[in-house]
Amino acid sequence: MSQSPVTSPLAGHLQSTLVRPDTTRTEMIRHLEECAVYHFHAAMIPMCYVPLARTLLRGTPVRVATTICFGTGHETVAGKVALLRECVDIGADEVDYQPNMTYFLSGMHDEFHAEARALVAAAGGMTLKAMLELHYIAALADKQTAIRLLEEAGVPWIKNSSGGGPRPGHATPEDIRLLRATVKATTHVKASGGIKDYAQAQALRAAGAELLGTSAAVAIVTQQAATATTTGDDY
């Protein structure tokens, strides 16, 4: 499993995602094995499968990533902190969390900022990403405010969307450029939501996304390999 069948620099920027609520353990094992074969940056999986992933991915470069409060983010700060600490305890390398968007949309910016600060403190040295639902926010100035509140709280990675919830947001080059232009060079940007093919992945990387979260990671690197074979593209 340590040797990738596809030479793909892009694979190291893909977080291969399987978080469907109807996923079986057998499907999860297959997913983790694919992540090891293709050398993706991380396997993004449900929290309950983090211990399994730690075992199956041992000795590979693939990181174990999970998510908390996916799609709503309505849990209390104390509840989110408890979940995050459990993720640390069971061995997750990275956690993507859902900010409480109702706080921000209600003008409760202090609460939105305080939640982020509390989670940054609870994460310690573990990689933490905020799944900011940019598409919930209408005005450009408000989008910039939300991004800056997360950055000022110390969140090291900011995403355009969770890709889930009642109104799933899709990653666009425009949103990624907005994130990259708004944050400092030391803050990282991840794209997520609706990334299905190599052309999309290439456009999002060009816009400034350092990582891409996608359930189509294998298809994307396979398309890249085919493109490189026929056109000489070595992206």
Catalytically annotated residues: 96, 159, 190
CA dist 194 and 216 (Å) reads 9
Which segments of 58-140 are extended strands (E)?
63-68, 94-97, 127-131
Which segments of the chain are extended strands (E)?
14-17, 42-45, 63-68, 94-97, 127-131, 157-159, 188-192, 211-214
CA dist 6 and 16 (Å) reads 15
Contact present, 176 and 159 (Cβ < 8 Å) = no
Contact present, 10 and 224 (Cβ < 8 Å) = yes
Contact present, 18 and 215 (Cβ < 8 Å) = yes
Q: Which structure tokens are listed for 176?
A: 């990624």
C-alpha of 129 from chain center:
7
Instruction: Return the closest-CA partner of residue 145 out of 96, 193, 110, 97.
Output: 110
